[in-house]
Structure 1
Amino acid sequence: MEQTVQRDLYQQMVLIRAYEEAILREYHADKKPVFDIGAGLIPGEMHLSAGQEPVAAGVCAHSIPGDSVTATHRPHHFALAHGVDMKAMTAEIFGRVDGLGRGRGGHMHLFDPMTKFSCSGIVGEGLPVAVGQALAFSRRGTGNVAIAVAGEGAANQGAFHEALNLAAVWKLPVLFVIEDNDWGISVPRSAATSVPSNATRAQAYGIPGVRVEDNAVEAVYAAAGSAVERARNGGGPTLLEVHTLRLWGHFEGDAQGYRDDLEQVPGRDPIPGYEQHLRSAGVLDDAAVARIRGAAVELVEQAIDFAKSSPEPDPSTVGNYVFAQA
């Protein structure tokens, strides 16, 4: 793999982690001494993607303008990797008027028509939506690809099977991405899914199914690249499952008493391991790492400051944007 690609993948992962660490800090800053999910600058639930950076970085490295992404309730990594404006996204998370949805949607409902990015708190919601987007791309002959992201628990939803079947029948340009982080909230995959890998389910629909182990960003990049190229050339959909890692809780405030793997989790963090790999290969050194980290933190803090300085919505406008204006 070219060193420029490796640096780009590392840089994207570092940016995502810096962002999630900042949101984690701001989310908890005013929820002390007793945690109150409804209190603070960022009220409500918060699902952070630390540990799952390789999936977004590896997949979205192949997206081009006009491609779409439908993400999950844990969406920040894919939003950033797909090119959603960080400042507008952060303002939306803070519920401010300069946000993507003018502060109405919050972190689980980020919609950006400019980059064709969307996400939802409804499990599996984005899968059939992506099929519709792919159908539009196919009929218009744009050469674009729809990327649909879901967790391994969502692969047991009816929408998953309906989406794969229709995409296969119509040979649509879709890449279905399953993030297998081992846990559907507090339920282990082995207790809820009859097969060890959702990638094997692709066979039922006559499409390729690939599983990437070890949260390996370069393996994700290679598998996604092949799938996206196939889709752009009219070959139809692919199912890509990545065995990734939920470094933190399902949501902030999750005590994670159900997890028996917590002691091993820090050692599975994908960023230090990839950084060491690139150092050994001569791709990174101390100066490059410091430069990349510093640039990421600077961008993130600028977005946080922008969000905090944006006004809160006027309560009198609560009925705005509910219906389209004639």
Structure 2
Amino acid sequence: MTMGMTIIVTGAMVAVACGFLGCFLILRRLAMVGDAISHAVLPGIVVAYLFSGSLESVWMLLGAAAFGLLCTFLIQTLSQQGVQHDAAISVTFTFLFAVGVIMISLFARQVHLDLDHVLYGEIAYVPFNTWTLFGWEIGPRAMWIVGAALFLSLVVVGLLYKELKVVTFDPQMAAALGIPVLLIHYVLMGLVSVTTVASFESVGAILVVAMLIVPGATAYLLTDKLEWMLAISAVVGILSSICGYWMALWLDASIAGCMTVAAGLLFILAFLFSPLHGVVTRWLVRRSLRLTTTNGEKNAP
């Protein structure tokens, strides 16, 4: 596999993994929770490093997932105690992120967790950081990690699809049917945490937020069915990766940044021309109705 193809495939896997889960976040009106989790997992990464001595082990994912769930729990608790939901999100993720920064400065200054690694990422380096198994090179490490996160999300969502669907659209009915609403919520947030950390090295925490929301938001404008929304978000993620890569080559700019810009442009196209909710489409329909009404009045006896 060429370097360009490796970058495109990795970007597509990140976009699909994030966009797939982002659909549920959007429908549950939890879009900003993804932003909160992407910052709140930092102390979990530091704690995992202090215990394992490595940033390449499964402990990093587990530590991040644990703090992602802690972030979700704190947001849920504060909201139930009367704090406004957006305020609960802001307080929780800024506090946990600041704790992570302090922990790095105190206990892990030698760890490579600078702004480029945690906040921006650099997908161009993915082909050079490979894994070796029994003397055989098995491919880029980021592809394996993101692929594992994507596979885990697909398996869990596949097994709990009916429960997730009911909880997403009608949590009261789900509770009446005996579905553990809170458990399903934490399972979803755990998947978001794992996927976020798995994508750090490829696109960085800030850009992961865009991939969590933009493909799903684009799909939301194009369909009213959850199944199609999930599929369209995956297609948008793949197109964003391909178009963003070629845009980066053309502009000689950040590849991850261009992938996110490409996703944003696809969202704008859907916002303007969606058959269901497009601004231009609705204007054309209203204009057509006005012309029909005017012509009808003129032709009336």
With the length of structure 2 as denominator, give the TM-score of the two structures.
0.25
Relative to total residues, which structure has the larger helix share, 1 or 2?
A: 2
Relative to total residues, which structure has the larger strand share, 1 or 2?
A: 1
